[in-house]
Structure 1
């Protein structure tokens, strides 16, 4: 491989947009599920750079950029949860019949849940990493929504001034040079913040509807990896409520598993990638 995250490949969605993916083929002769990664709200494929190559020692491992992020074309039709889940299913269609294990971080958690509920027959399991979850009441309070309304315009201003990467410089430390260059070029742009704002426009309202009518996952195994620490915008109280929502999520799965990344806050793929790798490998190795 000439790049840490594998070989590039383009996926064409049902309405003709081009999504950028990168593929590690996995070990020769591997017969288990393919693993596909879904990043957080404003994150690109690069957010999985410490996890995907390690998973690829055991299984084919694929990352991609959602529309309007990284190298993928923007979506003129908007960024609702339904459209993002449709795009993920288009990615899965492109790479074969499955089975698939889907890994989603943060806002990627609801996206993989909805995509899996649409086509459950090809999903071998979900690994949700510190996911946004509708069982967390804090998401729907005034304080959270006010914070979001403040942060998005601030992010747009910082992006225009070229200062956004300074705020997130911690994410650029200790990573391979090729991934760092990708992040510096792609992750802190005005377009990224524009896409994040479009996603946020309907995300919480759609998620609120799931409190009465959630995606049905049936007997799909679900593992949730929660951060064990506050910080990164999480107070101790918010962390406790988020983790309680994660425990509730796994309780609804017949093969639910809840794991705490004790040394991590929200950015578990960066701070404790080994925890995620272990849980994904466990999922891909489980008997059918």
Structure 2
């Protein structure tokens, strides 16, 4: 375990996402995180949230606050997002998972529950497989999934490139936040302000491009060498609704792959978020929080 101290600040006491801090990585970058402590004396794992492509910590606020009623809950920004320093090098999945692993080192010995949304799903799976002994469970929320054949199709890659080009143009014009008005409306005031200031910048979209560049080789590697997660409970939550860019064919294929992922765990569970498309953390935060708690209930970690 890295013995460098976690540097926490009291400057954001009263923020809905808790106390701010930074954790240095092995090469000197700083990862910004916020921690809600949970109830005093609660003997439960710390829940750590991992976002999707270009997603800062802020959109986890509704889930984080619900979980903090019974457990410590930590959100953070990957390098180049939110308030975390950028990474000058490539951003393959293995590097993202290693960064998450170092954040966990700084948070303490564990145990941890890792909740990953979208591209955060593969990240938490790899980070958990690296040190499964400190992982109490995984909750994968509408995750990217290597068992879904559609993610390898050229049409999907073309759609991603178009989306990246449009997002970059909107960010340069200062208009990208308008596309996420519904998401912003679901957040507490302080998290909404943070996301408006940090979430729709040219730098955030540049980071998205760096991570997007290795999606196909990353998922191919995971398909060929699946991360091993012995005895780690896994709950997979799928959105039920279609959305722009995710029609019925894509949704059905994604959800079938999510069900498959749940079956790969001896303690797997597949849950349908019936009121949600892809953005389950803001449309059904209570469902995610409830599934995190239910995942721990058999071990006595939560009642």
Question: TM-score surpassing 0.5?
Answer: yes
1:188 equivalent to 2:200? Answer yes
How far apart in 1 are the matches of 2:15 and 2:150?
40
Distance 1:3 1:184 in 2: 16
State the match for 1:198 in structure 2: 210
Per the TM alignment, residue 102 of structure 1 is displaced from its structure 2 partner at its CA by 0.2
Query: CA offsets per residue over residues 25-68 of structure 1, 9 Å max, x none?
Result: 11011111110000111100011011001101111100000000
Q: 2:76 aligns with which of 64, 72, 85?
A: 64
Runs of 5+ in structure 2 lacking a partner?
A: 1-12
Tell me which of 235, 238, 245 is aligned to 1:226: 238
Output one character per residue of 1:185-228: Cα deviation in whole Å (capped at 9) or x when no partner. Answer: 00000000000000011122111122221111122110001001
Aligned: 1:179 with 2:191: yes
Indicate yes or no: 2:55 matched with 1:43. Answer: yes
* Structure 1 residue ranges, 4+ long, deviating more than 6 angstroms after superposition: none
Does structure 1 residue 23 correspond to structure 2 residue 35? yes
Can you list the C-alpha shifts for 1:59-84, whole angstroms capped at 9, x where unaligned?
Answer: 11000000000000001122110110
Separation in structure 1 between the aligned mates of residue 21 and residue 295 of structure 2, nearest angstrom:
25
Q: Which residue of 1 aligns with 2:283?
A: 271
> Distance between the aligned counterparts of 1:254 and 1:83, measured in 2?
28
Partner of 1:281: 293
Q: Which moved more, 1:67-76 or 1:200-209?
A: 200-209
- Structure 1, unpaired ranges of 5+: none
- 184-193 vs 151-160, which moves further: 151-160
- Specify the alignment match of 2:117 in structure 1: 105
1:264-286 CA-to-partner distances (Å, cap 9, x unmatched) read 00000010111100001112333
Instruction: Supply the distance in 1 between the matched residues of 2:137 and 2:127 (Cα, whole angstroms).
Output: 12
Other-structure match for 1:55: 67
Match of 1:214 in 2: 226
Give the match's secondary structure for 1:185.
helix
Aligned length: 288
1:3 corresponding residue in structure 2: 15
Query: Which aligned pairs between 1:80-91 and structure 2 lie closer than 5 A?
Result: 80-91=92-103
Asked if structure 2 preserves the Cα contact closer than 8 Å seen for 1:18 and 1:72, the reply is yes
* CA distance in 1 between partners of 2:291 and 2:43 (Å): 18
The answer to whether the 8 A contact 2:63-2:288 is kept is: yes
Aligned partners of 1:125, 1:175: CA distance in 2, in Å? 26
| Alignment check: 8 A CA contact 1:32 1:285 kept | no
- TM-score by structure 1 length? 0.98
SS at match of 2:224: coil
Distance in 2 between residues matched to 1:11 and 1:210, nearest whole Å:
27
Match of 1:248 in 2: 260
| Equivalent residues of 2:236, 2:258 under 8 A apart | yes
Q: In 2, distance between residues paired with 1:276 and 1:79?
A: 28
Contact map agreement 2:59 2:187 (CA 8 A) in 1: no
Corresponding residue for residue 119 of structure 1: 131
Q: How does 1:67-78 map to 2 (within 5 A)?
A: 67-78=79-90
**Which residue pairs with 1:145 in the alignment?**
157
For normalisation by structure 2, the TM-score amounts to: 0.93
Q: Report the CA distance between 1:182 and its aligned residue.
A: 0.2
